[in-house]
Amino acid sequence: MSTVHPIAPRTALFLPASNARAIEKARTLDADMVLLDLEDAVREEAKDDARAAAVSAVGQGFGARPCAIRVNGLGHSAHNADVAAIAESKADFAILPKAESAQSVALVASALQKPLLVMIETPLGVLNAADIAALPEVVGVIAGTNDLRAELHIPDNAPRDAIGVALQTIVLAARAHGCWALDGVFNALGDAEGLERECLAGRALGFDGKTLIHPNQIAVAARAFGPTDAEIEEARALIEAASGGAERFRDRMIEAMHVERARALLARVDGQAVLPCSR
Ligand SMILES: CC(C)(COP(=O)(O)OP(=O)(O)OC[C@H]1O[C@@H](n2cnc3c(N)ncnc32)[C@H](O)[C@@H]1OP(=O)(O)O)[C@@H](O)C(=O)NCCC(=O)NCCSC(=O)C[C@H](O)C(=O)O
Ligand SMILES: [Mg+2]
C-alpha cells in the first residue's frame, strides 16, 4: 500500500452505522473524516443491518471527506463478516478496535486490504503499540480512552493524567512509524469548555486530531487543533525572518528545524500533506 494519504484529520466523527439519520446528517457536517461504527455503538441484534448500511453509506460517499468503517473486534461473531464486507466496500479506511499484537493485526490487515486505523485501548495494546504501528498497512493510531480506563480500572472521573503514559505511548508509536495519532472521544456532550481543554491537552501531547461523537464537538475540536491565526502569522514571519542557522526571532532562538516546522504548519493550512502517512 503506497498511497500518500491526505493530512491527518483534526476532527474524525464517529457515528453508529445503524443510525440512518446520523449518516445523512454526517453528509452535511464539517468533520474532516467520518467513522462509521459497527462495534460498541451498535446493538448485537442490529449488527447485520448496520454492516449493510455502512457498506451502502460508503458507496454513496461523504462528499470530499474520507470515510472509515470500524469492524467488530477479533473474537466477535460478526468480525469475519465485517472484514469481508469492508474489503469489498468503498470505505477509504478500516478501523480495528482493541488491537493487541502486531501478529493478529497483520492477519486482519491482509484480509481487509484497506489502509488501517488501529485503536489502542487495552493494556496489551499499549505495550505493543510500536510494533502494531510499524505494520505497513497501519496508517493511524487512535486512543480508545473509554476502554483504556475500564481495562486499567481507572474511575471515569479520575483526571486524564491517569492514562497519560498510555496516551504518550500511543503518540510515540505513531510518530516513530509515520502514522496519524488521533485522541480518544470526549463523552460529556454538553461540556464545550471541557472538550476544548481536552483537545488542547491532546494537541500538546502531540495528537494530530480528535475522534468525536457529536456534531456539536466538531467546531471546538477543529479550532483547538488549529493552526490558529496567531500560529499562522508567526509561521509566516518566522520563515520570512530566518536565514539558516541559529538566530534570534521574537526573543527566542530558532534554527533550521523551526523553519521546517513553520513550513509544515503552513502546508497544513494549504491542505498539503505535511504529516502524510506515506504507506
Ligand atoms: C451520543 C449520542 C447517542 C447522542 O444522541 P442524541 O441525544 O440523539 O443526539 P442529539 O439529539 O443531540 O443529535 C442532534 C442531531 O445530530 C445528529 N447526531 C447526533 N450524533 C451524531 C453523530 N455522531 N454523527 C452524525 N450526526 C449525529 C442527530 O441525528 C440529530 O440530527 P437531526 O435529528 O437531524 O437534527 C449520539 O450523538 C451518538 O450516537 N454518537 C456517536 C456514538 C458512537 O459512534 N460511538 C462509538 C464511538 S465512541 C468510541 O469509539 C469509544 C472508544 O472505543 C473508547 O473505548 O473510548
Ligand atoms: Mg473502545
Say if residue 83's pLDDT is above 50: yes
Atom of ligand 1 nearest to the CA of 21: 29
Amino acid at 267: A
Q: What is the pLDDT of residue 99?
A: 98
- By three-state DSSP, how is residue 12 classified? strand
Q: What is the pLDDT of residue 139?
A: 97
- Residue 257: which residues within 8 A CB-CB, separation 6 or more? none
Which fold does the domain 11-225 belong to in CATH?
A: TIM Barrel (3.20.20)
Judged by phi (left if over 0) then psi (alpha if -120 to 50, else beta), residue 75 lies in: left
Per the model's pLDDT, the better-predicted residue between 244 and 185 turns out to be: 185
Kindly state the cell numbers that stand for 190.
Answer: 454538553
121 carries a ligand binding annotation: yes
Provide the whole-model pTM. Answer: 0.94
Atom of ligand 1 nearest to the CA of 145: 56
- CATH code 3.20.20.60 region(s) in the chain: 11-225
Check whether the bond before 227 is cis (ω within 30° of 0).
yes
Per the model's pLDDT, the better-predicted residue between 233 and 270 turns out to be: 233
Say if residue 6's pLDDT is above 80: no
Percentage above 90 pLDDT, the chain: 90
Cα separations in angstroms, 40 against 46, 47, 69, 157, 188: 11, 10, 12, 21, 17
Q: How confident is the model at residue 262 (pLDDT cuts 50, 70, 90)?
A: very high
Compute and round to an integer the Cα radius of gyration of the chain. 19
Lining residues, ligand 1, CB within 6 Å: 13-16, 21-22, 25-26, 37, 40-41, 97, 121, 144-147, 184-185, 213-215
User: Residue 9 C-alpha to ligand 2 middle, in angstroms?
Assistant: 19
**CB of 14 within 8 A of CB of 35?**
yes
User: Residue 255 C-alpha to ligand 2 middle, in angstroms?
Assistant: 41
Cα separations in angstroms, 136 against 113, 157, 179: 11, 37, 10
Check whether the bond before 16 is cis (ω within 30° of 0).
no
Query: Which ligand approaches the C-alpha of residue 117 most closely?
Result: 1
Say if residue 3's pLDDT is above 50: no
Region 227-232 average pLDDT: 93
Q: What is the pLDDT of residue 268?
A: 81
Half-sphere exposure of 200 toward its Cβ, with a 13 Å CA cutoff? 9
Q: What is the pLDDT of residue 271?
A: 63
Q: What is the pLDDT of residue 2?
A: 38
Q: How confident is the model at residue 141 (pLDDT cuts 50, 70, 90)?
A: very high
Say if residue 226's pLDDT is above 50: yes
Q: Looking at the chain, which runs of residues are DSSP E strands?
A: 11-16, 33-37, 67-70, 93-96, 116-120, 138-143, 180-183, 209-212, 247-249, 252-254
Residue among 2, 34, 1 at smallest CA distance from 19: 34
Q: How confident is the model at residue 5 (pLDDT cuts 50, 70, 90)?
A: low
Regarding beta strands 138-143 and 116-120, do their DSSP bridges make them parallel or antiparallel, or are they unpaired? parallel
- ipTM above 0.95? yes
User: Residue 142 C-alpha to ligand 1 middle, in angstroms?
Assistant: 18
User: Residue 162 C-alpha to ligand 1 middle, in angstroms?
Assistant: 26
Q: What is the pLDDT of residue 156?
A: 87
Residue nearest to atom 25 of ligand 1 (CA): 22
70 carries a ligand binding annotation: yes
What is the number of residues in the chain?
279
Region 11-21 average pLDDT: 98
Q: Which residues surround ligand 2, an ion (CB under 5 A)?
A: 121, 144, 147
Region 201-223 average pLDDT: 97
Say if residue 277's pLDDT is above 60: no
Q: How confident is the model at residue 244 (pLDDT cuts 50, 70, 90)?
A: confident
